[in-house]
Amino acid sequence: MFQYYFLLGLRSLRRNPALTALMVLTLAIGVAASISTLTILHVMSGNPLPHKNDRMFVPLVDNGSLSGYTPGNESGDKQLSYRDAVNFQNSKIGERRSVMYGVGGAIEPARKDIGAFSSQGLAAYRDFFPMFETPFLYGQPWSAADDAAGTDVIVLSRKLAEKLYGDSNPVGQRITLMGFQFQITGVLDKWDPVPRIHRIIGSGAFGSEDSYFIPFTSAIRHQTAHNGSMSCSGNREPGFQGTLDSECTWMQFWFEMASDGQRAELQNYLDSYAQEQRKLGRLKRAAPNRLFSIDEWLVHLRVVGNDNKLSAWLAFGFLALCLVNTIGLLLAKFSVRASEVGIRRALGASRSDIFRQFFIETTVIGLAGGVLGLLLSFGALALIGMQSKQLTVAAHMDWVMLAMTFVLSVAAAILAGLLPTWRACQVTPAIQLKSQ
Amino acid sequence: MLRMQNLNKVYRTHMIETHALRGFEIHVKQGEFVTVTGPSGSGKTSFLNIAGLLEEFTDGEYILDGVNVRGMDDNARSRLRNEKLGFIFQGFNLIPDLSLFDNVDVPLRYRGYNSAERRERIEDALAKVGLASRMKHYPAELSGGQQQRVAIARALAGSPKLLLADEPTGNLDTQMARGVMELLEDINAQGTTILMVTHDPELALRSQRNVHIIDGQVSDLVHKGPTLASSPAKAGSNTATA
């Protein structure tokens, strides 16, 4: 009977084209408004490494001064000092770990037709690549020995490699960065995680990609200045070494544990570390030491702004208005079908048969609204994407949201159709048949 | 085939109670052609609606083909209606945006027949009423008489035991009405029980038995047909039996 009811539903779409078009359009507009804002939220709050959510963590310790500190107040600092970051790196805790900070410098291409240009990159440990599952087009990350020795080696982004070397494999060649020669060990394939969880602080969750990656130890050896924010609560000696020795926070750190469920182990380490540093007189505050999973990190850094959430609520409010209109239109559409209901009841349809028929008919309307809503959503996302660079990155529909469009549309149509369908089931056949 | 005993139907509003049927009693045998007459408001339609399981009765007994319908839920009543009953209405009651084929198909869908069986039954039913060549047409493309024939085909397609007709010729001219009546007589001759409400005394005379209803009670019976058994009811009795 499902096929029969579905065909009746399709036939019903043609019965009153103007009313049907109005209903489908109303539903589609409501769905498009909701889906487009929901897509932005979904992409913004998305986790590019969901399978590692319970084993990748950002550690934070509060190394602020006691001046102006009220116990219990949470520190607003979201980065680590060089000293804490290096201590974590040397801790041997977890399967992988990497300190990282943004760097910027001039690249001097060997090709004469391309002049020197500045470009942003990231200084990290080799663990960064497997931890964030970066795909390699050519070559591989540098070695652990390179990390230890601070060797001048480099991994290029695909975009930079193509700019400098075209389609050829540049692994093994040397590139001049910040006046030093770096040997290329690998080229990343296209890698565009959204949001860019490893660079939310610095270039932003939806900022442009890094053009190159160099060993952290090499960057420190060359006294490469950081490219990003820095927070200093105490005195700092001048010079690069002064920054390294200070309690200024400017580095980010990620741990990857061997398996899920090792958070407590990492937390214990962090607490022991902080206690030890307090004994050494470094950490002054008795503040909690915090760990953030990927999802928690996204929330903590407010990747999804309140304005985005408000937009979504407004869009759903608009969808509710559209639903009310659709209910009215469905009531009108179904009320003129009372005689048909009477006939079907007389011929053997039970109330539940009538319910199924009209339920499937509203589902067909929902599917039609979903198709149109999807087209309108693409249009709306294109318009939203024009508003800013950040929104351009976020305004892309994936398969989840595509499926969600249909689910939302059908659910909305079914919701809107419940009252009209229930009323259709209450038709008294005897009255309808006599009034024909 | 159909037996009602001491059946009452009361319509209630918050102010008024209207007794449509009072102590109504009737017994229709398998194969009979019974006409029901009476003035407007006498209870003919209420009787037919209750007989057709389209309305519930207030109290009393109603046995349809050996099944006591009292207390049946909507699903059971609908199934019984679909399997045992066929309906023909004054206003034809075809679904306008379905072809003749699809109109006749409606009760068969609810019966759960497979596609091949439905097709065979639809073609047979339309052939019986002389409209086999027009099964792709829509009701609006037919005359009133032809539409009523389609309604008869739809009622017959499921091989009902009892055909309920509510003034089936009321909207037709004399010639068309005669054609429809002859068709109903043929159907009855093949064994289908027919219960027909009519205002037309001439049509009432053509049936085997006429039941006259006044004020919700059977007031008069006229037995004519050969299928009727003995024990004629007395005039003024509220019992119609065969």
Q: Flag whether B172 is in a domain.
A: yes
Lowest mean pLDDT among A41-50, B31-40, B79-88: A41-50
**pLDDT for res A435:** 56
Q: Looking at the complex, does the CB of residue A309 fall below 8 Å from at least one CB of chain B? A: no
B5: contact with A, CB 8 A cutoff? no
Whether A80 and A202 share a structural domain = yes
Provide the pLDDT for residue A301: 84
Closest CA of chain B from A137, distance in Å: 58
CA-based nearest distance A357→chain B, Å: 12
In a domain, B97, yes or no: yes
Decide if B78 and A353 are in contact by the 8 Å CB cutoff: yes
Same domain, A265 and A319: no
Does one domain contain both A149 and A285? yes
Is there a contact between A117 and A148 (Cβ–Cβ < 8 Å)?
no
Selecting from B45, B90, B106 the residue whose C-beta is nearest the C-beta of A347 gives: B106
Total structural domains within chain B: 1
What is chain B's mean pLDDT, rounded? 84
Min CA distance, A429 vs chain B (Å)? 6
Q: Are residues A344 and A264 in the same domain?
A: no
Q: What is the value of ipTM here, to two decimals?
A: 0.86
Tell me if chain A has a CB within 8 Å of the CB of B41.
no
Do A91 and A152 lie in one domain? The reply is: yes
Report yes or no: A304 and A295 within 8 Å, Cβ to Cβ: no
List the Cα angle B13/B19/B25 in 5-degree steps: 145
pLDDT band at B222 (very low <50, low <70, confident <90, very high): low
Position B61 scores a pLDDT of 92
Please name which of A150, A152, A170 lies closest in space to residue A160, comparing C-alpha atoms: A170
Do A400 and A285 share a domain, yes or no?
no
A353 touches chain B (CB under 8 A): yes
Q: What's the number of domains chain A is made of?
A: 2
* Chain A positions in Cβ-Cβ contact with residue B55 (cut-off 8 Å): 428, 430
Question: Is B52's Cβ below 8 Å from some Cβ in A?
Answer: yes
Residue bearing the bigger pLDDT, B172 or B239: B172
B82 touches chain A (CB under 8 A): yes
Range of the domain at B95: 30-56+72-227
R_g over Cα of chain A: 30
In residues, how long is chain B? 242
Question: Counting one residue from A and one from B, how many pairs have CB atoms under 8 Å apart?
Answer: 69
> Does residue B65 lie in a domain region?
no
Average pLDDT of B103-129? Answer: 92
Any residues with CB less than 8 A from the CB of A219 and at least 6 apart, and which?
A: A101, A103, A123
The DSSP call for residue A231 is B
CA distance A426 to chain B (A): 12
Cα gap A273→A267, rounded to integer Å:
10
The answer to whether B87 contacts chain A (CB < 8 Å) is yes
Does position B148 have pLDDT exceeding 60, yes or no? yes
Please give the Cα distance from A343 to A349 (Å, whole number): 9
Can you give the CATH number for the domain in which B176 is found? 3.40.50.300
DSSP H helices, chain B, are 44-51, 74-84, 100-111, 115-128, 144-157, 174-189, 201-206
Give how far the C-alpha of residue A375 lies from the chain's centroid of Cα atoms, to the nearest Å. 23
B27 close to A (CB below 8 A): no
Q: B52 to chain A, minimum CA–CA distance in Å?
A: 8
Closest-CA residue of B relative to A425 is B74
Look at residues A300, A333, A351 and tell me which one is the last residue of a structural domain. A300
> A272 and A168 share a domain?
yes
B157, closest residue in chain A (CA to CA)? A347
Chain A contact present for B81, CB below 8 A: yes
A30 and A70 share a domain? Answer: no
CA Rg value for chain B: 18
Chain A residues close to B54, C-beta within 8 Å: 345-346, 429-430, 433
In a domain, B96, yes or no: yes
Q: Which tens digits make up the pLDDT trace of A371-386?
A: 898 889 888 888 887 8
The pLDDT of residue A428 is 81
Q: Which of A8, A11, A343 should one mutate to test binding to chain B, selecting the residue with the greatest count of B CBs within 10 A?
A: A343
Q: Report the range of poorest mean pLDDT among A12-21, A349-358, B104-113, B230-239.
A: B230-239
Given a contact cutoff of 8 angstroms between Cβ atoms, the answer to whether A326 and A388 are in contact is no
Domain that holds residue A36: 2-45+305-435
Among A246, A280, A300, give the residue marking a domain's end.
A300
Same structural domain, A212 and A143 = yes
Show residues of chain A in contact with B154, CB under 8 Å: 347
How far A294 CA lies from chain B's nearest CA (Å)?
Answer: 54
Kindly report the pTM of this predicted structure: 0.67
User: Residue B62: inside a domain, yes or no?
Assistant: no
pLDDT greater than 90 at residue B100: yes
Asked whether residue B235 carries a pLDDT value surpassing 80, the answer given is: no
Taking 70 as the pLDDT cut, the residues of chain A under it are: 388-391, 393-394, 434-436
pLDDT at B238 over 50: no
Q: Judge whether A356 is closer than 8 Å to chain B, CB to CB.
A: no
pLDDT at B50: 92
Examine the domain organization and report whether A295 and A314 are in the same domain. Answer: no
